[in-house]
Amino acid sequence: MTPRDRLMIAAQLKEPDQVPIAFLRSSYDATRIGLNVKEYIFDYRKKLNAQIKLHEKFPECAFVPSIYPDFGIVSEVSAFGAEIVYYEKEPPMNHPIINKVEQIDDLEVPDPYKDGLLPKVLEAYKYLIENAPSQYQVDPTAIRGPMDLATAIRGVAPFLSDMFRNPEYVHKLMDITTETEINFMKAMDEVSGGSEIIFMCDDIPGLISPKFFSEFALPYMKKIFESFNNKIRFYHNCKGSMHILEQLTETGFQVFNFSFENDLEKTKKRIGKKVTLMGNVEPIGKFRTANPEEIEDICKHQIDIAAPGGAYALSVGGAVYGPDSSMQAMSNAAKKYGKYPIRKK
C-alpha cells in the first residue's frame, strides 16, 4: 500500500493498514534543497525535481498536494492585477489591490486562461503531468479559499472592518472570489481531465466569530466544495478553529488539516466521526527544535488520541517547517505505534 493509498482510505473515514503520514506541500520544498524560491516557481523542471526529491527522501510519507504546480498562494490574486513580491527563501506575497471599498464594484472575475499567473499555473500543471515519473500522482495546485483571497485583494484589516461597516461589499467580494476559485479549479480539470483531489487553504475563518463565519464564509466555502463533490476534498486552516468546528464541517470537506492550537482530543470527539483529521503536531517550535525521540513521543501521543477507529492522518498543524530528522521521526512513530488495529486507551 502506498502512502497516498493509506491517506485516501483514511479520507473515507476508514482504517488503512497503518496510520498515514501526510505533509502539506509549500514553496519550502525549494529551500529544503537550497533552491531560490523564485527560480523554483518559474523553472518547471526544477520544481518537479525538488518535489520528487522530497518524495524520495521520505518514501513513507504522503504529500498534499503530491507533485503540483506550486506558485505559492499568489496565483489567484495576481489575476486581479496584484503586484507580487518574490523572496529568495519564502513563498511570494502580494500588496493589496484596492484602497477604497467602492473599488470592489470595478472588480471582474478573472479568466484563468489569460490573467496573471493563472495561465502559468496551467502550463506548469501540464508540464508536470507530462513529465512526472508514473509512480507519482500529479495534483492540481492548492487553491486559496474565498475569504483568504478576499483579504489578499482588500487587505486583512480593511476586509475585517468591512464586516461591520460594509457587509454588502463583503458579500460582493466573496461572490467574486468564490467564482474565481471555481473557474480556476475547472480550468485545472480541463488540463488534467479531472483530478482526484481539491485542496483549499483558508485561514481567515479561524479569525472570525461563529456569527460572521456563518454569514460571510460558510455559504461560499460550501459552494466551492459542492462544485467538486466528485473529488476527495481537503481543507487547511492553520488558525485555531475550536470556536467554529461543527460549522466548518458543514462546508463539505472530507479531510481537515488544522492548527496545533486546536485541542486534538476535543477536535476528534466533536467532528472526528464526520471528517478525517490530519494533524496537528506543533510545526514551528517543537517540530523544529525537539530531538527525534521527543518527536516520536509527541506522535505516539497523537496516535493514541486520534487514530483509534481510523479517519486520521498524522501531520503537522501547518506547512512543514521542521528539519528532515523531525519528518523522519514522525515516519518512524507511525511505523512503530500506528499499525491497525489500534485500540482506544
Partner 1 sequence: MQNTEKLISDLKDAFVNIDSEQVNELLKKVLDLGVSPKDIIEKTVRQGANEVGRKYEACEYFLPELVMSGEMMKEVITLLKPKMQAEGIASNGKILFGTVKGDLHDVGKNIVISMLSVAGFDVTDLGVDITSERFVSEVKENNPNILCMSSLLTHTMTELGVVIKGLEKAGLRDNVKVMVGGRPVTKDYADSIQADSYGKDAYEAVEEAKRLTAAK
Which residues of the chain form contacts with partner 1 (CB under 8 A)?
85, 87, 89-90, 93-95, 155-157, 160-161, 163-165, 207-209, 212, 243, 284
**Given the C-alpha cell 464526520, which residue does it identify?**
274
Cell matching residue 338: 500506528
Q: Which is nearer to partner 1, 243 or 336 (CB)?
A: 243
Give me the least distance between CB of 207 and partner 1, in Å please: 4
Min. distance of Cβ 304 from partner 1 in angstroms? 27
**What are the residues whose beta carbons fall under 8 Å from the beta carbon of 317, sequence distance 6 or more?**
238, 257, 258, 259, 260, 261, 262, 279, 280, 281, 282, 283
**Cα gap 120→191, rounded to integer Å:** 12
Residue 176 or 208: which CB sits closer to partner 1? 208
96 or 119: CB nearest partner 1: 96
Q: How far apart are CA 52 and CA 66, in angstroms?
A: 9
State the Cα–Cα distance between residues 49 and 167, nearest whole angstrom: 45
Q: How far is residue 42's CA from residue 210's CA, in Å, rounded to a whole number?
A: 40
Give the shortest CB-88-to-partner 1 separation in angstroms. Answer: 8
* Residue placing its CB nearer to partner 1 in the complex, 33 or 156: 156
Q: How far is the CB of 226 from partner 1 (least distance, A)?
A: 26
The grid coordinates of residue 45 equal 523542471
Residue 210: how many other CB atoms lie within 10 Å: 13
DSSP-assigned letter for residue 48: H
The gap between the terminal CA atoms of the chain, to the nearest Å, is 27
How far is it, in rounded angstroms, from Cα 22 to Cα 11?
11
Nearer to partner 1, 186 or 243 (CB): 243
Q: Residue 149: name the closest of 85, 201, 213 by CA.
A: 201
CB 36, min distance to partner 1, A? 13
- Nearer to partner 1 by C-beta: 131 or 209? 209
Q: How far is the CB of 173 from partner 1 (least distance, A)?
A: 15
Half-sphere exposure of 300 (CA within 13 A, CB side): 12
Using CA atoms, how far residue 192 sits from 45, 125, 130, 185, in Å, is 18, 8, 10, 11
Residues 303, 314: contact at Cβ < 8 Å? yes
3-state secondary structure of 159: helix
Judge whether 102 and 85 are in contact, CB under 8 Å: no
Q: What is the rounded distance in angstroms from the CA atom of residue 90 to the CA atom of residue 72?
A: 9
Q: Tell me the chain's radius of gyration from C-alpha atoms.
A: 19
Q: Which is nearer to partner 1, 212 or 256 (CB)?
A: 212
Minimum CB separation of residue 85 from partner 1 in Å reads 7
For partner 1, the closer of residues 20 and 318 by Cβ is 318
Shortest Cβ distance from residue 90 to partner 1 (Å)? 5
- Between helix 167-192 and helix 146-154 the angle, nearest 10°, is 120
**Shortest distance, CB of residue 238 to partner 1, whole angstroms?**
12
Residue placing its CB nearer to partner 1 in the complex, 165 or 335: 165
